[in-house]
Structure 1
Amino acid sequence: MKKTLILDGACVAQSVKEKLAQRIQSLALQGITPCLATILVGDDPASETYVKMKGNACRRLGIHSRRIHLDRSITTNELITIINELNHDDQVHGILLQHPVPHHLDERAAFEAIAIEKDVDGVTMAGFARSAFGLAGFPCCTPAAMMEIMDYYKLPMEGKHAVVIGRSPILGKPASLMLLNRNATVTVCHSKTKDLDRIVQLADIVVAAVGKPRFVQGSWIKEGAVVLDAGYNPGNIGDVDYEACLKKASAITPVPAGVGPVTIAMLLKHTVEAAEKRLELVK
């Protein structure tokens, strides 16, 4: 009986952090501490939890975490003013605007206010364009995490048919571009896609990024496919029916402890890289 490979995100994240530790020490010898500024607007419990997790991860690795918690009544212009202040702060190397923001704010305008050299979460249109051309310094963290997992476990992408379910600008779209740049043949599916189950059945690699619990069924999965679940829904449930897909897949990410820990690790990696690039500019 075949044994499905469980893609352990915690293990991958630890590997990334171990490699970063030496680089952080090297920066420290030159008087630099990488700094990530995290902006949280409002009091959404899930967002507060994510920001706290990112802050704790920074501190454990020796990265300075600057948390900016703003009242939900703030205007878009006021938010952009704060982002611009961080853009001009030489002590800040990365800026993360926790999303989603309250509905009255123009989230895209706020994202676009982030300087490209500090866009460590890959949310700007310029960052997206760079990712499309395979030139992204800081690609979106969750798709980057999936690539990191595939590379860690030496799972091939070249020549494989990848089906990405979801087309959000910070997950589905950049994931499809990253896979395309790794020479996969990519099909992007979304809420208007017809015969979704039949399309997924053709996939060697399935990326679930739809935001619906247990949406992807085991019967959709081709025998031996690799399943990457980027979903995280209430109750620690992913976007795939894990137990059912486990029986068909050759490799699968669990939820939790799959893509999530590596996403945070990639954010830390991008912050360190931003600090290194800043140091090179001022030398």
Structure 2
Amino acid sequence: MTATTLGDSKQVLMQRALDALSSHVQDSLLTTRQKLALTCRALFDAGHDSGLAGQITARAEKPGTYYTQQLGLGFDEITDANLLLVDEDLNVLDGQGMANPANRFHSWIYRARPDVQCIVHTHPFHVAALSMLEVPLQVSQMDMAPLYDDCAFLPDWPGVPVGNEEGEIISAALGDKKAILLAHHGHVVAGASVEEACSLAMLIERAAKLQLAAMAAGTIAELPPRLAREAHDWTLRPKRSQANFAYYARRALVRHPDALTGDQPNNH
């Protein structure tokens, strides 16, 4: 059979691939609670656990409310059933126990960014190590392109983020970016969906690990801006995030079948 696309331009081929993605990658049938529980388990397996530190939240159905984990439970203990529903003041509307007081800055981000549906804040090893150097995340490798020019940097540590001051500082420093590296702390990912937030959280830890390794070996060379922007826009698409998340969800369910307590759809 004779090939018919070898003379097509890159733009034509990219559009064809996007059309195929739309046809073949299905929207998840999981609930927000289920996605959040699987995100907790997937990120635990990826080294994002730091005892009880860190929070992963997602907007709930009622405006001004969101789901989060119960203080006292690790990411590897989160299920769709033990998540809390809280308001912006962290009052528990549904569930047992209390929310982490550090969730307060999530309320500030959700207020400032109507486009954000899910926030991941963790202290993974390599992100935490990079944060100690007080240098921004430097994206200089193709796989990390979704974070290119989309990761802010907060150079000054505001202390324990349980006050409104920290909420104002962190949300302002994040601006319109998808992520932020917090000096002497960790990172925040602000995703347009749970799928996107999970995918970017996976990437930011790997990006920090790569950066530390590259810095130890020499000087990091910058990506060509035009090509880096093209790669960013190509990889940071909803369908790609959905495909990534479906893989992470399948893997998490194999390792943590207790994460989902109710009926599970065939399509993750």
TM over 0.5: no
TM-score of the two chains, using structure 2 as the length reference:
0.31
